[in-house]
Structure 1
């Protein structure tokens, strides 16, 4: 299997970032909270932004209300406490 790493500092793949986005992460900060990607050297933040795009976020209303965007995580992925 060919893995495309987005964050080499923490070994986070493009697939993992997409799974977190599908679970509701709308911003690089929310991705960082879910898997630490983008929290060390920061060189992957633009790549994460590109993966997230500027599309519609299904849980943006929750985020704006101060509620957590990640209410559940996909199998095998963990959320930061």
Structure 2
């Protein structure tokens, strides 16, 4: 099922980016452009990234600094904007 019609991004692609560490709609946008054109898919992306689906949670439980990586990605996006 398509999440972002503007860029042809599917639900499976969003889930893959989330599994790879994208924790926010902004990080998903950085990975595949979803949500950067008309914005109508942002709420769907947020739903797919719901609290139970935060990809870094399991890593954090294992002592891996997932939040540090998320912050670095966020900073790169802010610098690019």
Comparing both structures, which one devotes a greater share of its residues to helix?
A: 2
What is the aligned partner in structure 1 of residue 14 from structure 2? Answer: 17
TM-score, L = length of structure 1: 0.71
Question: How far off is 1:29 after superposition?
Answer: 0.2
Greater relative contact order, per chain length (Cα 8 Å cut-off, separation 6+): 1
List gaps (5 residues or longer) in structure 2.
57-65, 75-81
**RMSD between aligned alpha carbons?**
1.6
What's the secondary structure of 1:46's corresponding residue? helix
> Hey, what does 1:68 align to over in structure 2?
73
Once the two structures are superposed, the pairs formed by residues 1-81 of structure 1 within 5 Å of their partners are 4-55=1-52, 56-58=54-56, 59-64=66-71, 67-68=72-73
Structure 1 segments, 4+ long, off by >3 Å, are none
